[in-house]
Amino acid sequence: MSRAATVLTEYLQWDFLTFTQRCFAELHGGEPLPVSYHLELMAERLHNVLEGKIRRSVINVPPRHLKSIMASVAFPAFCFGWRPTIQIICVSYGQDIADKHARDCRTIMNTKWYRDLFGITLTGQRAQELVASTGGVRYATSIGGTLTGRGADIIIIDDPHKSDEVLSEPSRRSVIDWLQNTAYSRLNDKKTGRIVLVMQRLHEEDLAGAALAQGGWDLLRLPAIAEQDEEFKLSTYVNSRCLRRRKGEALDPIRQPLETLAKLRAETGEYNFASQYQQAPVPASGGMVKRAWFRTYRPAELPPHLEIVQSWDTASKAGEFNDYSVCTTWGIAGNKAYLIHVHRDRHEYPSLKRAVREQQQIHRASVVLIEDKSSGIQLAQELFHEGLRAVQRYSSQIGKFERMHAQTGVIENGLVLVPESEPWLDAYLHELTLFPRGKHDDQVDSTSQFLEWLKQRSMSPRAMFGSYGR
């Protein structure tokens, strides 16, 4: 073996970052993986977990920064080389993701270079379980998945939350309960067992937030854009030195430069960007929508030939006096939505039905959205069969909080315009900017229903809702 080959072998055996680079190339057709700031820091942190220097580690890193290939694919394979009989449990929010990581790890361990490097082969290769010839095991499961009879020296939790469910308190609570009631009990040795939690932040009270609030967890927080000058002391097999990043610099300037991050900030909105990319979730107890985000227009500035769409949020049941029914009327031009009118009143069922007809006739709406639940079910059925063909049922798959949260980006980007002055405007903006702490949310629901429908329609000519008569 040449001197160069000998040195490379030593680096692959002893330096986890070098090993990760080799794994990346194997899985990406030989594409090289440039060394970057965040990869060096994550590699050192994971190596310290392997050596037992860190027992509880939270690593917060933005999406698409290679955390999964490092933590869920390369790290277990590297661990077998150092601790041949180690037992590892790898967890993700869904079994399909967990199985994908397991397949990638299997691919690495089945290569000739890996077998030659550590003298390890796989004797068991079930979808969820990799068994090394030395006795080591890597087991893949999901949050809430079966772990009966399973034990671990290291538990790796990689993105435990589904991004479209994390705003649900019961969903977050179930993940936290899994950590507290299941994960801890699976450690073979409660004194030396290690848990790694690697994830993007999604909510102030997500699993990382709960772990850090509990105390005893080491934190590596890596915002996409440095919020202040950073300095980390790094000690690896290769060398010891200081890593520095200046305020305002990108975490991975090659793969996600500042220009790309600026576009992502605009597309996702400040609320989401702060959580997912800056790892600094803000409390979701109010202020989700800012008044300053709404651009205004004068009547003379309305584009010609607007498509008129109405969105109804009806009282929870027909005949109920305590709740408001709301119709927001919108004009669509290009990628902009103009709020034209808000009808908000308490109705018994007969007057509600008349109000839907009247509002449609006044504004000549081509589409009248009515949510397909509670009083809206009967209302939409009767109006459609009585000849109001503009009526379309709409059914959302997420809760009202999640639905409004998903629309903050389009509002923040100035694509939702309101009139400069209308009698109903102040009450409308007050409710939207107070949500979810306000007493009422009917105008919020009407607005988010329309914006979600508009987004769905832009993704597909046939929206996800249906209409009667099919």
pLDDT, tens only, 448-465: 999 999 999 876 544 333
Higher pLDDT, 189 or 5: 189
Domain count, the chain: 2
Which of 276, 300, 322 corresponds to the end of one domain? 276
Q: What is the CATH number of the domain that holds 441?
A: 3.30.420.240
**C-alpha closest to that of 109 among 74, 158, 154, 150:** 74
Mean pLDDT (whole number) for 295-302: 94
CATH of the domain at 15: 3.40.50.300
pLDDT band at 421; cut points 50, 70, 90: confident
125 in any annotated domain: yes
Percent of the chain at pLDDT exceeding 70: 94
- Residue 41, domain member (yes or no): yes
pLDDT of residue 440: 82
Report, as an integer, the average pLDDT of 53-80: 96
pLDDT for the residue numbered 283: 56
Statement to judge: residues 359 and 426 lie in one domain:
yes
Q: Do residue 193 and residue 328 come from a single domain?
A: no
Residue 162 lies in a domain: yes
- Is 174 in the same domain as 259? yes
Over residues 243-263, the pLDDT tens digits come to 999 999 999 999 999 999 999
What is the residue range of 400's domain? 291-459
Clarify whether residues 181 and 242 are in a common domain: yes
What digits encode the pLDDT tens for the residues 203-239? 888 999 899 888 889 899 999 999 888 888 888 877 8
Same domain, 359 and 222: no
What's the whole-number mean pLDDT along residues 170-183? 91
Q: What is the pLDDT of residue 415?
A: 95
Is 2's pLDDT higher than 80? no
| Residue 285 placed within a domain | no
Could you tell me if 218 and 352 lie in one domain? Answer: no
- Judge if 106 and 50 occupy the same domain: yes
Question: Do 17 and 62 have their domain in common?
Answer: yes
Residues 71 and 200 in one domain: yes
Is 124 a domain residue? Answer: yes
14 and 136 inside one domain: yes
pLDDT at 91: 96
Asked, for residue 470, whether it belongs to a domain, the answer is no
Residue 470 has pLDDT above 60, yes or no: no
Least confident of 182-191, 192-201, 342-351, 423-432: 423-432
Together in a domain, 128 and 262: yes
Q: What is the mean pLDDT of residues 311-315?
A: 92
Is the pLDDT at 319 greater than 50? The verdict is: no
Q: Which of 212-216, 262-266, 346-350 has the lowest mean pLDDT?
A: 212-216
- Residue 186, pLDDT score: 94
Average model confidence (pLDDT) across the chain: 89
| pLDDT of the residue at 467 | 37
Work out the average pLDDT over 64-68: 94
pLDDT cut 90: percent of the chain above it: 64
Residue at a domain's end among 246, 276, 306: 276
- Name the domain boundary from 253, 276, 299: 276
Residue 191 in any domain: the answer is yes
Assess if residue 370 is contained within a domain.
yes
Q: Are residues 409 and 451 in the same domain?
A: yes
Predicted TM-score (pTM) of the model is 0.69
